[in-house]
Amino acid sequence: QKEVEQDPGPLSVPEGAIVSLNCTYSNSAFQYFMWYRQYSRKGPELLMYTYSSGNKEDGRFTAQVDKSSKYISLFIRDSQPSDSATYLCAIGGYGNKLVFGAGTILRVKS
Amino acid sequence: GAGVSQSPRYKVAKRGQDVALRCDPISGHVSLFWYQQALGQGPEFLTYFQNEAQLDKSGLPSDRFFAERPEGSVSTLKIQRTQQEDSAVYLCASSLAGKSTDTQYFGPGTRLTVL
């Protein structure tokens, strides 16, 4: 079993839709939860960073962490074609390395 | 300001050749990481430096992989006797200090294809 599980998609939605992306993890030692966005042939860029259970909002993006269920989510409101990318969940706090999910490919159709 | 840069961006090698991949971290960043990203997968940790010290190399898949950061700035990942399974994107990341909470900033990666 992988330490971090993420559905690879692809997920295809119409412009303006609310998108929900999810990951589960197995090791309760993980303490920090991140979402990275990766455009084709580019490196990952950090979108959201949370430490604790609950919600964190930044513009159209909301990150949600439920440590009791070992479940993290990213919600994107009013999705735009420019949001089309691969979204990677990443978990840290177990040493200095990050452990990534496989990434979910998102396509927002105009 | 300048981000993490990597060179070359693309590398094609014949099986058995040695390759060297370069990473220039953000200026002043203490920590440097190498990750391997296979097609359709998330990045997987290879190794971690704090300044010139290699503190974790637990992710290096074999003794054909070697990384160095001799002056605590630029780093080189070397792969000897490349195999087809080494084909992947190699990502470098840097962070400001040595804390596990620090944000890691990624470069664009080097896409290695082994024929």
Mutate to test the interface with A, among B7, B37, B45, B104 (most CBs of A within 10 A): B104
- Best residue in A89, A97, A104 for a mutation probing chain B (most B CBs within 10 Å): A97
Q: Which three-class secondary structure state does DSSP give residue A15?
A: coil
Q: Is A85 on the interface with B (CB under 8 A)?
A: no
Q: What is the pLDDT along chain A (110 residues), one digit of tens a residue?
A: 789 999 888 999 999 999 999 999 998 888 899 999 999 999 999 999 998 889 999 999 999 999 999 999 999 999 999 999 999 999 987 778 899 999 999 999 99
Question: Measuring CA to CA, how many Å separate B115 from each of B17, B37, B38?
Answer: 10, 18, 15
Is some CB atom of chain B closer than 8 A to the CB atom of A92? yes
Within 10 angstroms of residue A106's Cβ, the number of other Cβ atoms is 21
